[in-house]
Structure 1
């Protein structure tokens, strides 16, 4: 493979999510009409620092929210571990049965969060919703959404999580910890 072909291959891989996810054989067929075996493509890419790795999965985020998160991170980058430990962090996730497929991407070390190397993970409505919290190195309360609570909307979410959060914060305050909810 010539240096120009190697450069074309690297540029092609880095161009999009779809090309990052192509197998070595697909790359050979798409770019070189199958002229090179998958083993040649793999060897050439390894020399360029590329490996096949499991793609990072994260929920999609709007540009506005990305900028807000970045501003928050920059405003708090000087915080101490003790300051971060005073925050009660909460989040929810959906757990569902069924098959799980790992998506592989071709990337270099340090590129795991490049937008072309990340697979967007969308929330599923089927399954079980779990809400949980933590502060510092300690687990906070958590709940599984009960089916008889009905569908999840802003009101029902608040009805079931706010009392738990309030109770936990009061308990921690009684132990001398003043947590801030994030």
Structure 2
């Protein structure tokens, strides 16, 4: 009889059996699941009910309820260098230019009695906040550095150079403020020798400038 003839029962599709919920491996659940475990337990759910609800094992629920919601940070493998040795290493590196310029391999060879690798030296220094970097190339420094323009053109600032180059600019600026804002600004200067010289004060008085007392 043909497979599709009338009255022929259709073949039912093969259905996979229901799968068992996949449990998380290990004793530690995620933080969200731990919060749900504690919450459900606080409202009276049993361990088995919580395990079925969250699809984890009963032992995981029991272990989660023995600790806080946020799991403690797991401790890794202890370092090969003790804190005293790391202190000695830091003191050596920061104590001299030669120590700072040594590579991790050279440091491990220098402290060969510790029997540690260069990677252990690097991890110990990195943990203390040290980083390797390439030093910036310094510009050549001359005995007499580049001076600013007034130092080259005017020379040392004295009362003569101050009244010749600076006070005319001050007077022009104060006049500009008066013309634009209608206010007379009050000038103040510090106690530099060129500012307090009698010739400077006389020049300011001749220009009719008011100024505050000295600093």
* Greater strand fraction, Structure 1 or Structure 2: 1
Q: TM-score, normalised by structure 2?
A: 0.27
Q: TM-score, normalised by structure 1?
A: 0.32
* Greater helix fraction, Structure 1 or Structure 2: 2
Q: Choose between structure 1 and 2 for higher RCO, CA contacts under 8 A separated by at least 6 residues.
A: 1
Greater Rg by CA: 2
